[in-house]
Chains A and B, each alone.
Chain A
Amino acid sequence: MNHKHSTLDRAAERLIDIDNVSHGDERERAIYMEASTFGMTLGIWGCFFASLVFAIFGQILLPVVLISVAMIPSYGTLWFANRRGVNTLELLSRGSYRSGLTSAVSFAVVLLLTLAAIIYSAYFGRGLLQFEVTFEVVGDGLAEVAVQGALIGAGVGAVLGVVWVALIIRGHKKKRYKEPAPGDDT
């Protein structure tokens, strides 16, 4: 796309890496963008429902954090589109009133339920439902060792994840270059 890019725009585009050749041709890129939107929407709904569940069990800070995190993709979308002259709210107004309203009302209902659960917890000092897990630490320094083990495990898992993705990409590259191009399909 041709735009007059500011440093901020360039940074945003570098972040999403939209023009990277690895994102494929125009159809693949369009599908990739749709898939990203799908994933983002799932993430937003996941955050909202998780915040509701945690609020019901008496958590206060975690639901607020989750809702705040869920807002980031929406505000990011508004900002990015607005920088390129696309008003997403105006776009929504072009669609059917019913579908836009259904989505907005659904989010509002979950948000209000979460807020109600938080207020209940703050007022009564306990959640609507009780669920407590207690760990009994046996032996000196066992908790410290457990934390260290978890951190090491997470680190090794992260490295293995990167290696796994790298191997998959390498496999696809090899397949593309080594295999003869598939012939006509029909």
Chain B
Amino acid sequence: MGNRDSAHDNPVRHRRKELRITQAELAKTVGVSRQTIVAVEQGDYAPSVFLALGLGRALGATVEELFGDAEVKEPEDRGIGA
């Protein structure tokens, strides 16, 4: 599971802040719940390729930029949507 520290330097969160959009707005744009955006930003959930591409489009970034540095966790700790 992720934690608050990792959430603060999360690329998704960083890019969203740069664009000055709220989690709710981003969630609406990509068609997921706000809780899912929170989970992605906190590193608790590894999004599917489709959602990652959607987030990339919405944030004007590549998937590599948003998730390229994401830690590869052990299977038991990994998000469920990978």
Contact = CB atoms under 8 A, between A and B. Distances in A.
B22 A183 contact: yes
A181 B34 CA distance: 9
Given A25-B31, A27-B35, 11 more contacts: A26-B32, A26-B47, A26-B51, A26-B81, A27-B33, A27-B39, A28-B33, A28-B35, A30-B80, A181-B22, A182-B24
A25 B40 CA distance: 13
Interface string B4-44: 00000000000000000011110010011111101100000
A181 B24 contact: yes
A133 to B, nearest CB: 46
A184 B36 contact: no
Contacts of B50: 26
A185 interface: yes
B48 interface: yes
Interface of B: 22-25, 28, 31-36, 38-39, 45, 47-48, 50-51, 80-81
Nearest to B26: A184
9 contacts: A24-B33, A25-B36, A26-B47, A27-B36, A27-B39, A27-B80, A30-B80, A181-B34, A183-B24
A30 B81 CA distance: 7
| Contact-residue size bin, chain A (C-beta under 8 Å from the other chain) | 10 to 19
B38 A185 contact: yes
Contacts, number: 42
Contact of B34 (A30, A31, A182): A182
Interface of A: 24-28, 30-31, 34, 181-185
Nearest to B7: A186
Contacts of A34: 80
Contacts of B34: 181-182
Contacts of A26: 32, 36, 47-48, 50-51, 81
Contacts of B38: 185
A184 B22 contact: yes
Nearest to A180: B24
Contacts of A31: 80
Contacts of A27: 32-33, 35-36, 39, 45, 47, 80-81
Nearest to B13: A186
Nearest to A31: B80
Contacts of A183: 22, 24
B68 to A, nearest CB: 21
A129 to B, nearest CB: 41
Contact of A181 (B25, B45, B47, B51): B25
